[in-house]
Structure 1
Amino acid sequence: MKEPRAPCVLITGCGEGGIGHALAAEFKSKGCRVFTTLLAHEPRDHLTNNGINAYTADVTKDDDVITLRDTISEITNGNLDVLVNCAGICYTMTAIDTEVKEVEKMFAVNVFGPMRMVHIFHPMLIKSKGKIVNIGSVGGIVPYVYGSSYNATKAALHHWGNTLRVELKPLGVDVINIISGEVGTNILKRDNSRKLPEKSFYRPLEKEFQNHVRRSPQTVSPQQYATAVVAEVLKEHPRAWFWTGARSFEVWFGDTFLPKTFWDGIFTREFNLTKLLAK
């Protein structure tokens, strides 16, 4: 008898120490054939030394993704069982001080990247009756302060994925939104040196803002996160929305049972926003 084919998994954004890296290692441990993407400047030993295929590809570029598709298709005979859209960047700033060019970069990776991946890889996923996994965030659910633009990218990803799920179901492809709580990764380091503009109405909170961008939040480890996500994704019938990570249950409960404005008071206190009140 012919041996069953190992599931083929493609994960974008697998820099060392991140969610993608942890997911790749966990899928590999479950017997999957794992393909990953990195940017040109990123090292790959953390993947290749563990038998994980690593390719240079930028999800914001059509040519990169098409080349990646052709390469993987040749290796797997056109099969792809799981696509994990994990590549993402973060931009921390008040909504009123947001630089639109920074947000455009973030949407290009966090939203248009997954759209491009699905557009180019969907024939392989349909052939395999596969799964698309979008790595979302609790930030796309609640009004987390200083994260309005990042939150917007994740909310867009969630709702695009919602419709994608309905449209692909008749074609045999599952779509899973992962609503991620806090996970201990390097994603916040990009904003460590960010400061409020000198003329910002938020200048009274400059010290608090600096503490925020340099914070060490309560998190689960990438390994803990990956264990939970992979276990769900590999189920025969995974949940459409899967909540995991620090504070994810708290956010799920509040969003499910409490009014939307419940978070206003929570975050006003947490971020000391009363300091902005006119004297």
Structure 2
Amino acid sequence: MTTQRNKYVLITGCGEGGIGHALAKHFVKNGCVVIATLLPQEGRKHLDHPQIHVVDLNVTNEEEMLPFKKQVESITDGNLDVLVNNAGICYTMTAADTDVRQVERMFAVNVFGPMRMVHHFHKMIVHARGAIVNIGSIGGVCPYIFGASYNATKAALHHYGNTLRVEMKPFGVRVVNIISGEVSTNILKSDVRDSRALPDNSIYAPIADIFKAHVNRTPNTMTPDEYARGVVATVLTPSPPAWFWHGNSTLLVRMLDTFLPRTTFDWLFYRWFNLKTLEGSFKEG
């Protein structure tokens, strides 16, 4: 009689109250053993559970990867059933006023981090005939105002996942892009904490109040628990979809993206963010 082995799930970015935290809880509820990563300065009491192994990891640091991989191998005996690329950060700013140094940091976490994880862990996933899950966003599909650089990271992650899905198919590995809608997480808090504001000389200065209100917004969101329940149930099915749209506003974005012209989003955001105010406002001098 063959004993059934544990299913092992590795999730990056499991800070308290976020998506990673909620995903860890729901994978455990489904009988999985979870390796949850945190930055060294983050608290970890929220992950105190016998089926959760908490390990420090900065996904932007290549030097940490080999010792981290050895830790994971010792826990999983070389089988990794699910890798969830969840760690992410946000930077809100108009495309024209973007500080590229901030964007480089964001790409390092949101795009190069998942690439690094796949590079180091793909053989363990192939061995288990497992799944790679990328936490994307509707921002990577629609031109959400003031989020050009964040949107770019998610669009890059989506397309990386699309190509990875084809390349991993011969090995029996599923790749799933989660197209996340509005979920109540901590990702927007960095903009509030840093008092993100437009530069004084920005050509968007006439709508500075709209930008500030956007940074401090409280969107209509799905809870992380509800979000994680849906994601975990989908990922653990034998044939998960290539793209799983989940979270508030996903139905609207999906319908507009599928059935209407690309410029429909332009028309909507132009009005929602009162961009008409800027017409004729720029004076050289």
Same fold (TM over 0.5): yes
Match runs of 1:103-252 below 5 Å: 103-192=103-192, 193-252=195-254
Give, in angstroms, the shift of residue 172 of structure 1: 1.2
Q: Which moved more, 1:71-80 or 1:176-185?
A: 71-80
Deviations along 1:34-53, whole A, 9 cap, x unmatched?
00100011001100246421
Q: Distance in 2 between matches of 1:75 and 1:99?
A: 41
How many residue pairs get matched? 279
Residues 32 and 51 in structure 2, CA contact (< 8 A), matched pair in contact too: no
- Gap runs ≥5 in structure 2: none
Q: Paired residue for 2:37?
A: 37
The TM-score, its normalising length taken from structure 2, stands at: 0.96
Deviations along 1:229-276, whole A, 9 cap, x unmatched?
001000000000000000001111111111100001111111111111
Q: Paired residue for 2:276?
A: 274
Deviations along 1:133-182, whole A, 9 cap, x unmatched?
00000000000000000000000000010000000000111100000000
Q: Distance in 1 between matches of 2:62 and 2:32?
A: 26
Q: Distance in 2 between matches of 1:108 and 1:3?
A: 41
Residues 33 and 51 in structure 2, CA contact (< 8 A), matched pair in contact too: no
The TM-score, its normalising length taken from structure 1, stands at: 0.98
Give, in angstroms, the shift of residue 225 of structure 1: 0.3
- Gap runs ≥5 in structure 1: none
User: What is the one-letter code of the residue matched to 1:45?
Assistant: K
Q: Distance in 2 between matches of 1:253 and 1:50?
A: 42
Residues 81 and 129 in structure 2, CA contact (< 8 A), matched pair in contact too: yes
Q: Distance in 2 between matches of 1:235 and 1:207?
A: 46
User: What is the one-letter code of the residue matched to 2:157?
Assistant: L
Give, in angstroms, the shift of residue 68 of structure 1: 1.5
